[in-house]
């Protein structure tokens, strides 16, 4: 284990992960990598490859676990990552984003307190997905007043009527 990966394993402890058939293979790879560097990984499924499963069956329970602080952060994977992101963001308290590059993986946490990363299992290769997950998990919310002010406005949207 390299020193940065050692540091990675000390910042957060409980990571939730979920995927449908489109992200099944990537999920299994990431579970192995996360476990190897010391995370406790809670796998919300799917636990077997089923070609016609539905991402909502796995992503939504993960999103509730993130919102309820049952896990420190979440990783949601479907074929493109888009459906997983849409479903996750329907749960109050979840701030999920589809990520395909490391800057946003880090900045989404630092500025927007992103607590769930969404990946496309058919879009992002395993090694690069691991780099994205590391950037996401190594980042911390800055807590700066201007960012906190924005988050307060976003949270208000979750309870406001149209």
CB 38 within 8 A of CB 12: no
Provide the β-strand partners of residue 117.
Answer: 75, 97
Q: Is 138 helix (H, G, I), strand (E, B) or coil?
A: helix
Phi-psi bin for 138: left (phi > 0), alpha (psi -120 to 50), beta? alpha
Choose, from 15, 34, 78, 133, the residue flagged as catalytic.
Answer: 78
Whether 78 is a known active-site residue: answer yes
How far is Cα 68 from Cα 60, in angstroms, rounded to an integer? 12
The residue whose two tokens read 């489109």 is 22
> Burial of 154 by CB count in 10 Å (0-12 exposed, 13-18 middle, 19+ buried)?
exposed
Catalytic residues: 78
């Amino acid at each position: 284990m390299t020193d940065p990966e050692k540091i990675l394993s000390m910042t957060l402890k409980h990571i939730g992960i979920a995927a449908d058939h489109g992200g099944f293979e990537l999920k299994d790879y990431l579970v192995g990598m996360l476990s190897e560097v010391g995370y406790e990984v809670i796998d919300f499924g799917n636990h077997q490859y089923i070609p016609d499963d539905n991402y909502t069956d796995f992503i939504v329970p993960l999103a509730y676990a993130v919102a309820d602080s049952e896990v420190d952060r979440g990783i949601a994977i479907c074929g493109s990552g888009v459906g997983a992101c849409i479903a996750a963001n329907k749960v109050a308290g979840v701030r999920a984003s589809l990520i395909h590059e490391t800057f946003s993986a880090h900045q989404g946490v630092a500025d927007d307190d992103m607590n769930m990363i969404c990946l496309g299992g058919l879009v992002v290769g395993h090694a690069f997905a691991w780099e994205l997950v590391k950037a996401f998990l190594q980042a911390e919310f800055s807590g700066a007043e201007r960012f906190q002010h924005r988050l307060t406005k976003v949270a208000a949207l979750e309870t406001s009527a149209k």
